[in-house]
Amino acid sequence: MLGVEVVQQGAFWNCKALTDVECGKLEIIGINAFAYCESLTSINLPSAKIVDYRAFIHRKALTNANFGKELESIGWSAFAHCTSLERIKIPLKDGVITRDNIFRGCEKLKYVNLVGALHDTIDALLLEERRKTMNEQIASISQILPNTPAGNDGFDDAGERPMQCDCGSEQFVTKLFIK
């Protein structure tokens, strides 16, 4: 979908043949735009700014989702019931994830690549039973790591750092990506 900047409400609703979405110029993903696309396994949307509510709801085959630094907001239940979703990359700014239920029913979600606004994001992930423990562990990491500004003097070439977040009987985030 080269050159497409907006996918309208319900545009690919229940499209069974669609397997991958990669759009270099796509900025707005409308309500239910890719809802119920059973075969969709991967999305790569580096220029997306707005993911409207329920944009990717009930995508059972989706395992991977990548968004770029332009992302401004993710709507309510955008990824709800994506039961195979394992990994999502969301470079954050303040206020990107502010709603509950965004990842409701994503039982296999293991890897979340987050940058910035971690405490607010954890509160919006609908992880009630793990929220307090995760916030405490993030706070302890903040005490260990200096408050280093991003950019050339920040974490130059820091790469991937393993992180264990033991939040009870299972682990939610097993790697923290520092970029």
Instruction: Identify the structural domains of the chain with CATH numbers, from first to last.
Output: 1-179 (3.80.10.10)
Question: Are 71 and 47 spatial neighbours (Cβ–Cβ below 8 Å)?
Answer: no
Q: How would you classify residue 14: left for phi > 0, otherwise alpha for psi between -120 and 50, otherwise beta?
A: left
- Residue where the block lists tokens 């609703």: 13
Q: Give pLDDT, residue 79.
A: 94
- Residue where the block lists tokens 């200096």: 146
Q: Give pLDDT, residue 141.
A: 60
pTM for the full predicted model: 0.63
Quick check: 120 pLDDT over 70? no
Quick check: 148 pLDDT over 90? no
Question: Are 43 and 66 spatial neighbours (Cβ–Cβ below 8 Å)?
Answer: yes
| Percent of the chain predicted with pLDDT > 70 | 61
